[in-house]
Structure formats: C-alpha cells, structure tokens
Amino acid sequence: MARKSTVQHGSRGGRGSGQAPLRRLDGQAPFRRASYEPDAGDAWAEEDDRGRAARRRPGWSGGGGRWLVWIGRTILWAVLIVILINGVTALVARYTESPSAPVGQIVQPEAGFPTVAGTAFAEQFAAAYLNFDSTRPAEREARLAPFLPAGADRQFGWDGTGKLVAGAFEAYDVDVRDAKNAVITIVVQSASQRYLLSVPVHYSGTGFVVADRPGLLPAPAVAALPQQEDVDRDVATESELTGQLDGFFRAYGGTDAVALQRYLAQGVSLKGFEGALELDRLQQVVVPVGGPTREINATVVWRVRGAGTTSGGAGQGTSKLTQSYRLTVEQQGDKWFVKDIRGTSRSAG
C-alpha cells in the first residue's frame, strides 16, 4: 500500500513570507530554506554592497587618465624615432666620409688628383727646367733633382750648351687622367716669346714626381679686338671737365689729401698715391651725353718718381707711364665732382 507524501509544495519565498517550513521524512529538524541575508556585522556583505553601489554611481569614469597615458606613449615614440634617425645618420656619415690622411700626406677637399698642390709642383719644375746656362750646368742639375724620378737623366734632356732665361710661370691648364696622374700645362715667357710647357705629373699619395719629359708648345695667338662703337660725345662738358680733372689727378698723385678732397663729391673719400706719381699731363677726356651723373674715360700720363734715378739722384721723375681710367662724375650746382675712379674696361674715343 502506497504511503502518502507529507512534503508540502508551495511558494519559495524568503523569511517572513508566511510559509511553513519544510518537514523531513526522517522526523529530524526541518530544513532551513537556503537563502543568504547578511546581518549588520557581515563585513563581506557590506563591502559587496558598496561595490555594487559604486558600479551603479553615475559620473566621470576617469577617461582623463587614459589621455595622459596616450600622451606619454606619443612622446616616448617621438623620442625613439629621433634617436633612430640620429643613429642612422651617424652611421651613414661614418661610412661615407673620406678617411683622414696620415701626417705629411696632401689632403684634398674631394677625392681624386690634388690639382692645386700638383700645379704648384709643376710651376716650380718649369722654372728649374727652362732656365739653363752652359757655364753653370751643376746649378741646373741641383735644382732639377727634387722633381725627377730615380735613375732619370740629371739634366733631363738638356745637352749642356747654350743659355735660356724664362719667367712669368703661371698655371694654364690641368688635364686629370685619373686619381694618380695628370698633365699640367704652364704658360711661360722668354724674351718676347710666350710658350706652353706640358708637364706629366704622377701623384703617389704622399708626393709628386715628373713622370716623363715635358713638351714645349706655342702659346695661343693674340686675340683680335672687335671694332669699338662710336660714342656720342658731349664736347662742352669735356672742355669743362678737363680743367677740373687736371687738378684732381695732380692731387690724386700728390701728397695733399686736403686738396684731393676738394675734387670729390660729398660723402666720398679716396686714397691717393701720396707722392709716388706726378701728373705729366691729362691726355684725353671722353664724356658721353647724359645727365648729372656720368661714366667718363680719362687718359693720363704719369711721371713715376724715382724711375731712372742714378746714384747721385739725377734723372728722378724722367720715366713716363700712360694709363686710362674710368671715372664716375656728378654735377653739383655748376661744378663736377668725382664719385669713383677705377681702371677702364676699354678706352673710348
């Protein structure tokens, strides 16, 4: 015979809900309903309640702190990028710069044959090579020795006869073949003739040597000067300026600085020759038509003081030298004054 269950089913409400407690089949104390209701002394419950309240509390959630973090990260990345760029630049510079030269080695701003130093070497060689005298062969031999390779002919092609005097040695051209070799051409003058001397020069890295015998060549011919255009001349102003310029050049070559200042435009200061030259005559004045400020040409004949002087002082100032000048003159009132003087590009007239 089946036994009727004594378990009552009903709502599972909490304490104070008016429901009867559940009974056990074995007659023991009834079950206590499973529920958790913290009392006033439960700290864990209080903390949990406060946490839930904080999560429900409205207001600012601390987003500004995250912005500070992002700003810090940005600054850190910028610093790292700058350090990386500087490091790469330093490495590139280290591997691309020219290695420093040992002590005594000629340093050039760019890789290749050192043209400046090589040209100086060739000029000195040319001076020793193109001056010889059969009465003093040992002197030439000694002067050539620092330029020649070991075992070379001590006179380097000269047979020991005759005499040659040359001067005015200047660089004319440099034909660089490679970093170690070049042909350097020097222009020279002997009496009334001008020549070119081509010198093959080898560079060892620490010094130079003449690699082979040089070659003497004729200098280029004198250029033809083109026909000069006629100038529309202001004859009246030329006549007026002739007397003014005569006084100016006398003061310009003399020692009286106060007298020189009288011929200069306002605010202009010029240094004269302080007695080294003396005006012989004003040979020509060419004044083009124009306004109150003009560019004019003047040809003067100077007496050079001290030229042709003998031991007793006779003959002083007898040598004459004709020269041309270009002047800027300015009319102030009814007179003309000098603003500037320089060498002329080409005489007019």
* pLDDT number for residue 10: 46
Q: Which domains does the chain have, with CATH numbers?
A: 115-218 (3.10.450.540), 235-343 (3.10.450.540)
Gyration radius (Cα) of the chain, Å? 53
Q: Which tokens belong to 270?
A: 């010029």
DSSP code for 4:
P
The pTM is what? 0.58
Report d(CA 218, CA 236) in Å as an integer. 49
Integer distance in angstroms from the first to the last C-alpha of the chain?
159
Closest CA to 194 of 181, 202, 185: 185
Strands 293-304 and 167-176: unpaired
Give pLDDT, residue 120.
97
Q: What letter represents residue 319's amino acid? A: S
The Cα 266–Cα 271 span in angstroms is 15
| CA angle at 182 for the pair 180 and 183, rounded to the nearest 5° | 160
Closest Cα to residue 346, out of 240, 222, 246, 227? 227
CA quadruple 165, 168, 172, 177: dihedral, nearest 10: 50
Contact 297, 285 (CB under 8 A): yes
The torsion region of residue 264 among left (phi > 0), alpha (psi -120 to 50) and beta comes to beta
Contact 276, 269 (CB under 8 A): no
Q: Kindly give the confidence (pLDDT) of every residue in the chain, 349 residues in length, as a single tens digit, with 9 standing for 90 and above.
A: 444 444 444 444 444 444 555 555 555 555 555 444 445 445 444 455 555 544 555 544 545 567 777 787 888 888 888 888 887 777 766 665 544 444 444 444 445 999 999 999 999 999 999 999 999 999 999 999 999 999 999 999 999 999 999 999 999 999 999 999 999 999 999 999 999 999 999 999 999 999 999 999 999 999 998 888 888 999 999 999 999 999 999 999 999 999 999 999 999 999 999 999 999 999 999 999 999 999 999 999 999 976 544 444 445 556 999 999 999 999 998 899 999 999 988 755 4
Q: For position 223, what pLDDT does the model report?
A: 92
pLDDT of residue 9: 47
Amino acid sitting at position 288: P
